[in-house]
Amino acid sequence: MKNRWFVWLLFAILSVSLAACGTPRKSAFSPRAKFGATHESYLNLLRWREFRSAAVYYTEPRREKYLSKVQDVEEFQVTEAELVKTDYLEETREMDTEVVVKYYLLSSPRVRSLELKQRWAYFPGSGFESGQWFITTPFTGFPVDSDSP
């Protein structure tokens, strides 16, 4: 009789454990959860002045224009890039962001701030390919002269 209760208890515990393992965690695979790592990678590229590498985060139609605007930015030196605001639009899988980039120009030692307002969109993958986030807003360019704000 004692063994029978033990078997039932063991069976119940195993059933619950297996059911928990088989249920995917929706939040871990959601577009919103993936955004944080993607955006942090983008900010790191800005911080380290890897502007050409950051082009991969722009959609194809915006990428060439972005690359043309960051080609001659030797004067522009980044000291900090920080995400200050996000707004997730669930129905369209888009994220509006505000990033503050602190920078100085080699010709002027004063640290200034540049606010980048960007819209990111999630493009789902197919099959085993996971989806990706891309910037869909046009890039306005970095200030490259000391008369800029």
Domain ranges of the chain: 27-135
Please classify residue 98 by burial: count the beta carbons closer than 10 Å to its beta carbon, then call 0-12 exposed, 13-18 middle and 19+ buried.
middle
For 112, the 3-state DSSP assignment is strand
Domain boundaries 27-135, corresponding CATH code: 3.10.450.50
Q: Is the pTM value of this prediction over 0.85?
A: no
**Would you place residue 3 in the very low, low, confident or very high pLDDT band (cuts 50, 70, 90)?**
low
pLDDT at res. 8: 60
Give the per-residue pLDDT at 32: 84
CB-CB neighbours of 39 under 10 Å: 20
For 40-88, the pLDDT digits (tens) are: 999 999 999 999 999 999 999 899 999 999 988 888 999 999 999 999 9
Answer with the residue of higher pLDDT: 30 or 76: 76
Residue 140 has φ and ψ, to the nearest 5°, of -85, -15
